[in-house]
Amino acid sequence: MSLTTHDGIGSAVDQERPVPARRSERPAFDRPLHVGTPNIPDRRRLFERISQALDRGWLTNNGPLVREFEDRLTQLTGAAHVLATSNGTSALEVLVRARGLTGEVIVPSFTYVATVHALQWQGLTPVFADIDPHTGTLDPAHVRRLVTRRTSGIVGVHLWGRICPDDELRAIADEHGLGLLYDGAHALGCELDGRAVGGFGDGEILSFHATKFINAFEGGAVLTNDPELAERVDRMRNFGFGPGREVLTFGTNAKMNEISAAMGLTALEHMDEITAANALRHEHYRAGLLGVPGVRLRAPGPGERSNHQYVVIEIDATVTGVHRDRLLAALHQENVLAQRYFHPGCHRMRPYAQRADVHMPLPLPGTEALAERVLVLPSGPAVTPHDVDRVCEVVRQVLGAASAH
Ligand code: T4K
């Protein structure tokens, strides 16, 4: 029998194995376990900062907390310029515009839809490139084949904090005079061979959404070492105003507010311990899933330092006999709200799949393969080591693997 997901993308499995009956009518967890439960490390300090902002009567428009947040990020990442924004999507929209991208922009299909929407929303044409399924990041060989006269840029995604093959992408960009930008929404604190996110490409963006390990309720940032690009971003995020309130360019409102900055700053003060807790949780999952046939927990590659915020497993249904989607359904029954980050590839999403003018050179085998296999497991401070053990036991039970205990 061949297993088919709801999108009709088949995954050949010789023999579909029945999922064992649940042990109890009651779910394994009496509360939902989410991916990315927010870190809220020090409420007293947070409320203090919010209270000070309220006392100052200065709530947004480049306030002191936003400036402090930017300074802290500058120190942390080593980027010469950090410009905080209202969210990661607005950061990317402003960045691609400030970088002057036009026409076609090469981007992975395997990403959160915000990456691609940000391009489309700026009137750009996303050209979907495949990924290397091993790393999950852009495949430079495929990118190279997609460059046309209309291409103005490449936007890579540091997926789950894994840094893109920057040297190879830089070579393509330089050869063809293209902009090279990165969506680092997942990648604060990540490094490759001692180079930190914030220093790759012409510019990068971060997200501080509630579900990110460092959150600002909603928030984002543009990071760059290019002073002119930084100046354009700075103007564009604030209606195009330059010095003396003269409008020098088109612009939008992508400003971060003071309350978000209060949260972001407070979280940044605890970044090391949050990262350590993420790493410990990741390690716990690794131990709990060790030896389950057909299940692989993704780990950082050589020379990489990760923030470990996403716990990503791959299910090889040809080995487990249980497709990822059936495992997902079984987990949800137990209140384990794992996520298919990311499925389907953006090129299969209705607005992109239906657009004849979107250049779509199919197939994207690496994208299709990964989109059918990945599952992101619950994470964040609300997920205790005991919870992790039980999640792993549920996975083992559904897949018919022996218990770890
Ligand atoms: N680029 C990439 C590669 C991205 O992954 C993202 C965002 C962006 C760009 C854009 O950045 P932002 O503009 O968002 O700053 C969630 C996040 O909303 C989104 O920020 C994130 N990536 C994406 C990977 O995950 P959804 O659509 O899955 O959100 P939702 O509401 O289904 O929540 C996910 C889980 O988190 C649920 O189980 C509920 C839980 N949750 C959610 C919230 C809001 C909480 O436990 N607490 C909360 O406060 O996108």
Q: What is the pLDDT of residue 17?
A: 79
Average pLDDT over residues 314-332: 96
Q: Which tokens go with 18?
A: 């029945």
Q: What is the pLDDT of residue 24?
A: 75
How does the average pLDDT of the chain come out, rounded?
93
- Does residue 311 carry a pLDDT above 80? yes
14 contact partners, CB below 8 Å, separation of at least 6: 1, 318
- Over 80: is that where the pLDDT of 205 sits? yes
Q: Greater confidence, 145 or 357? A: 145
Helix (H) or strand (E) holding 275: helix 271-289
Residues whose CB falls within 8 Å of the CB of residue 363, separated by 6 or more in sequence, listed in order: none
List ligand 1's pocket residues with C-beta within 6 A.
Answer: 34-38, 87-89, 111-112, 114-115, 157, 183, 185-186, 207, 209-211, 220, 337, 339, 341
pLDDT tier, 359 (very low <50, low <70, confident <90, very high otherwise): low
Q: In the predicted model, is pLDDT for residue 12 greater than 80?
A: no
Q: Whose CA is nearest to atom 42 of ligand 1?
A: 211
Q: Minimal CA–CA distance to 253: which of 72, 82, 71, 60?
A: 60
Looking up tokens 């992109």, which residue turns up? 352
Delineate the domains of the chain, giving CATH numbers in brackets: 13-30+271-338+378-404 (3.90.1150.10), 43-268 (3.40.640.10)
Residue 11 has pLDDT above 60, yes or no: no
pLDDT in tens, 264-292: 999 999 999 999 999 999 999 999 999 99
Using one digit for the tens of pLDDT, what is the confidence trace for 35-55?
989 999 999 999 999 999 999
> Which of 13-17, 287-291, 399-403 is least confident?
13-17
Higher per-residue pLDDT: 301 or 180 = 180
What percent of the chain shows pLDDT beyond 70? Answer: 94
Residues 6+ apart with CB under 8 A from 8: none
Q: Is the per-residue pLDDT at 357 higher than 70?
A: no
- CA-nearest residue, atom 20 of ligand 1: 209
Protein residue whose Cα sits closest to atom 45 of ligand 1: 37
